[in-house]
């Protein structure tokens, strides 16, 4: 049963106030009512569906915005576990790149030492030209060779520099490997090379009166002008034996009445050639193979010469060099020093 209660109000007429059981009160609390003075009763408030939808949309939008804001703030302030792991991996990779770069520098230092030995020891021993720096240090081709590594953003410089070091080292190792292959071949040919280098005097010491003129500027005996003398002059009697100074092949033979007179040129290989001039007789033929110590002719006074002597020249890779540097097989240290002194004196040549 519904219990009705009346209350007297001074400003309005009496209106009934009814009390409902607790269950019904709770249920009604979820529904909004308004009092209608005309009907003197409470009527249920009915909302417009569009307003309800708009209100729900505003609630949803506010919730989404609030959620996104909270998410962004959380991400800015705090790193996720995955981000922390990635950051740790990045730092570890940078450390490894640094260690790798240091090792590459150490390897480059070792390789530079090998290159220095190769150029100044091994190739010197085998009479080979050193490898030019412009070949050893040549750059790596390709303008955009490392462009694909720029995608690493902040770490791209480290990655690119390490890649460049690896490429340079690989190129230098390749060149050095090829150089050692050549040195090995030179070592195999060492016996033949030693037999071919012009390493003795063309006139025997027992037949030699003196060395009248050496390599350098001298007064010409005929023209009486200072000219460069490109060889050594050995004075000896006409008919004295002239010896081949190294194994080789006769590539030029001429019997002239001027200039070098009767002369022979021998190609020894390995860049060496020797000239024997002013001979009185030639004992070899064009194209003949000849060994060190064999007699190739006799001392004379032919051509543009003022006295019996042998004019001897040594050419290395197309350049005339001082022959006195190649008499090491015949002379003692004391005799070699004396030969150097005699060859350096400025006097008149015989041709």
pLDDT score of 12 = 43
Give the span between the Cα atoms of 14 and 12, in whole angstroms: 6
Same domain, 72 and 93: no
Same domain, 128 and 62: no
Taking residues 30-37, what's their average pLDDT?
71
Taking residues 136-158, what's their average pLDDT?
62
Give the span between the Cα atoms of 282 and 266, in whole angstroms: 13
Same domain, 127 and 33: no
Question: Does 194 fall in a domain?
Answer: no
| Alpha carbon distances (Å) from 103 to 33, 98, 140, 283 | 85, 9, 21, 64
Pick the last residue of a domain from 42, 77, 112.
Answer: 77
pLDDT score of 17 = 46
Same domain, 240 and 327: yes
Pick the last residue of a domain from 153, 188, 223.
Answer: 188
Global confidence as pTM: 0.50
Same domain, 93 and 73: no
Question: Does 127 fall in a domain?
Answer: yes
How many distinct structural domains can be found in the chain? 3
Kindly state the tokens that stand for 9: 């109000």
Question: Does 70 fall in a domain?
Answer: yes
Kindly state the tokens that stand for 192: 């033949």
Long-range contacts of 107-111 (CB under 8 A, 24+ apart): 107/169, 108/165, 108/168, 108/169, 108/172, 111/169, 111/172, 111/173, 111/176
Dihedral sign, Cα of residue 181, residue 187, residue 193, residue 199: positive
Question: Does 198 fall in a domain?
Answer: no
Same domain, 252 and 330: yes
Same domain, 244 and 266: yes
The residues, any chain, with a CB within 8 Å of residue 39's CB and separated by 6 or more, are none
Phi, psi of 289 (to 5 degrees): -80, 135
CATH number at residue 272: 2.70.70.10
Of residues 222 and 48, more confidence is placed in 48
Q: Which domain range does residue 252 map to? A: 210-344
pLDDT band for position 14 (cuts 50, 70, 90): very low
Taking residues 157-165, what's their average pLDDT?
76
Same domain, 105 and 64: no
Same domain, 340 and 218: yes
pLDDT score of 91 = 77
Question: Does 349 fall in a domain?
Answer: no
Question: Does 121 fall in a domain?
Answer: yes
Q: What is the DSSP string of 102-157?
A: HHHHHHHHHHHHHHHHIIIIIHHHTT-PPPPHHHHTPPPP-TTTTGGGGGGGGGHH
pLDDT score of 72 = 76
Give the span between the Cα atoms of 101 and 302, in whole angstroms: 69
Same domain, 58 and 126: no
Question: Does 350 fall in a domain?
Answer: no
Highest mean pLDDT among 27-36, 74-83, 149-158, 189-198: 189-198
Of residues 139 and 312, more confidence is placed in 312
pLDDT per position as a tens digit, 244-297: 999 999 999 999 888 899 999 999 998 999 999 999 999 999 999 999 999 999
Pick the last residue of a domain from 26, 54, 77.
Answer: 77
Same domain, 220 and 284: yes
| Alpha carbon distances (Å) from 275 to 158, 229, 243, 307 | 60, 13, 12, 18
Same domain, 224 and 317: yes
pLDDT score of 158 = 72
CB atoms < 10 A from the CB of 179, how many?
21
Q: Which of 323, 223, 303 is closest to 263 using CA atoms?
A: 303
Give the span between the Cα atoms of 324 and 200, in whole angstroms: 10
Average pLDDT taken over every residue of the chain: 76
Question: Does 83 fall in a domain?
Answer: no
């Amino acid at each position: 049963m519904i219990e009705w209660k009346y209350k007297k109000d001074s400003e309005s007429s009496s209106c009934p106030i009814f009390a409902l059981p607790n269950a019904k009160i709770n249920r009604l609390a979820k529904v909004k009512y308004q009092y209608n003075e005309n009907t003197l009763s409470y009527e249920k408030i009915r909302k417009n569906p569009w307003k309800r939808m708009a209100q729900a949309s505003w609630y949803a939008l506010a919730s989404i915005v609030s959620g996104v804001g909270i998410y962004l703030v959380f991400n800015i302030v705090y790193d996720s576990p995955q981000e922390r792991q990635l950051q740790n991996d990045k730092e570890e990779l940078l450390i490894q790149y640094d260690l790798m770069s240091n090792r590459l520098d150490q390897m480059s230092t070792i390789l530079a030492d090998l290159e220095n030995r190769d150029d100044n020891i091994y190739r010197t021993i085998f009479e080979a030209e050193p490898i030019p720096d412009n070949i050893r240090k040549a750059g790596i081709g390709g303008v955009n060779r490392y462009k694909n590594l720029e995608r690493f953003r902040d770490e791209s410089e480290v990655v690119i520099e390490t890649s460049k070091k690896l490429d340079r080292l690989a190129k230098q190792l390749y060149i050095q490997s090829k150089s050692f292959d050549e040195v090995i071949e030179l070592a195999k040919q060492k016996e033949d090379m030693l037999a071919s280098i012009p390493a003795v005097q063309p006139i025997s010491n027992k037949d030699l009166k003196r060395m009248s003129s050496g390599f350098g500027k001298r007064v010409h005996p005929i023209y009486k002008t200072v000219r460069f003398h490109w060889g050594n002059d050995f004075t000896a009697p006409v008919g004295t034996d002239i010896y081949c100074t190294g194994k080789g092949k006769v590539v030029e033979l001429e019997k002239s009445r001027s200039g070098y007179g009767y002369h022979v040129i021998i190609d020894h290989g390995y860049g060496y050639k020797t000239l024997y001039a002013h001979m009185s007789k030639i004992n070899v033929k064009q194209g003949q193979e000849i060994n060190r110590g064999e007699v190739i002719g006799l001392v004379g006074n032919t051509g543009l010469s003022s006295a019996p002597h042998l004019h001897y020249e040594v050419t290395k890779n197309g350049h005339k060099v001082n022959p006195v540097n190649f008499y090491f097989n015949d002379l003692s240290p004391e005799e070699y020093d004396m030969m150097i002194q005699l060859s350096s004196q400025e006097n008149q040549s015989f041709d």
